[in-house]
Chain A
């Protein structure tokens, strides 16, 4: 077990370096940040030189990367050109995104697994076919279309839920964005659960459980669902990582000042430190989520060996 974790951690290092370096190069290709800072006016050469020296902009790109990473590990993400520290931006954005993630994830788990179980148990019937078709439709409609339509219908026309979030983040206002954000993953969870449930209904252990006279709900919950959820849990784990990365589209539609929103603003305003800092955190979360999923997988399924 220990060796397995160690090996996976070591494998992560080149991926981490490669991904962050790629983003670093791309962001720095956005253009000269000093010129962007001054806008249309030409900067005073002395001031420009001072800023360049302060932000290490004269070094070759790889050295800038190394220096940046060195600071990063001391929890110093640098400051934006407006003087705000990236750490404070992170501190402001993350609680909002985490709340949204919690709402979306709950919806995804409850309805995704519920619908998948229903459909897998009634394979080939009307309920099953309608779940299959509905999930395909949900997957096909881009999130920004679902977002605008639901925002208009539920938020504006019928007025059931708040249409936008803004600064005052309440549970009620996050419900609608949560549904929009969860919809596509929900469809995947339902389809995945359906497939594994339908496969496992024919398994020997289910037949044994039925034959020894267990009531149906115990067969379904203790035997069938428990074994069918292994691939679903791995999907959910990775998805949780993706959700915590913030939702560019959903946060923009519903005016949620979370990670996705801040990141989008950072890119639009060419704020190099914001973008690189946020993306680095996202990559770390993504890789850790993957590692956790692997470990969870092995805990859930004892047949998996740690080589």
Chain B
């Protein structure tokens, strides 16, 4: 269709829209979570950004900076990025070396001190079993951060791979992958967790991680697919193809670096939500189990006697909320820095 081609050339967005609509899934990618919401605006912004910049006459030509260099310049001056970044570094240190922050063993409990409030040397008080809440909060970081990081890495890997392949090749492979993603998307995540995790009797961190990856990859696959479809239609990809680049080279050298930004943003925010998810699953009794020390377990155990000893719940809950907030704020700041429309 020659007409269609002319139309495409005059408006680079026309093609992008068509292809998207053609492969619409039965369950639209509704922006049900913050991650997807932010990632999609980023993809949209990228689409608008393919008009070449015209350098102003007379202006001295500066060395062109890449998107990431630009973003880094912005981020270094963003207080939200600095605060959340420092918080995350601190949390990671706590997770790796909890012994640096407390000398009390979180499993060393004294029933005579059950539910006692904060005292000197034990600033967060004791829980029902007489364990030191401060030590348990410090040691609980490890389980939460491990689940968050591993689940995010897993679902980002699976999601990017499948979503990228679906977006790059299109056709039947796209249809198959999109439908499978729809099926997993149709299961409410908490409900799936209750059913799936109560089947398995082994309670380890890795089971919880595997479960989150199984139900979490469709979200990242959708973002990856959208980003790859957008990147695929840019002129530099056509140019590379015309120069004889094969599919592998196109994908790895040209499309992936340009499609990875929204995936990173969504994954960072997802990390925060996965940590909250692990706590919620532990609260419902299907996540981690003692003797693993985790914020979710502690909050769940403390919830029965919240009105008598609120400190048992409030300290681990605050630690959990701050961790989730730090990751969400980091993702938010990175998104703002990567969005060319906001410049």
Contacts and interface: CB of A to CB of B under 8 A. Distances in A.
B186 A14 contact: no
Interface residues of B, number: 51
B252 interface: no
Given A248-B190, A249-B190, A140 B276 contact: yes
B183 A263 contact: no
B280 interface: yes
A147 to B, nearest CB: 9
Contact of A290 (B28, B303, B307): B28
Contact of B188 (A136, A231, A235, A245): A245
A140 B320 CA distance: 9
B183 A148 contact: no
Contacts of A140: 272, 276, 321-322, 324-325, 328
B194 A248 contact: yes
Contact of B37 (A148, A188, A275, A286): A188
Contacts, number: 147
B30 A282 contact: no
Most buried by A among B28, B37, B186, B314: B186
Contacts of B283: 142, 144, 249
A263 to B, nearest CB: 7
B25 interface: yes
Interface residues of A, number: 58
A290 B30 contact: yes
A15 B34 contact: no
B165 interface: no
A127 interface: no
Given A26-B199, A238-B32, A248 B284 contact: yes
Interface of B: 21-22, 25-28, 30-34, 37, 41, 179-180, 182-184, 186-188, 190-192, 194-196, 198-199, 272, 276, 279-280, 283-284, 299, 303, 306-307, 310, 313-314, 317, 320-322, 324-325, 328-329, 332
25 contacts: A15-B26, A18-B182, A26-B199, A29-B199, A31-B199, A136-B325, A136-B329, A136-B332, A140-B324, A140-B325, A141-B324, A142-B276, A142-B283, A142-B320, A144-B279, A148-B303, A148-B306, A152-B307, A188-B31, A245-B191, A248-B194, A252-B284, A283-B186, A290-B30, A307-B21
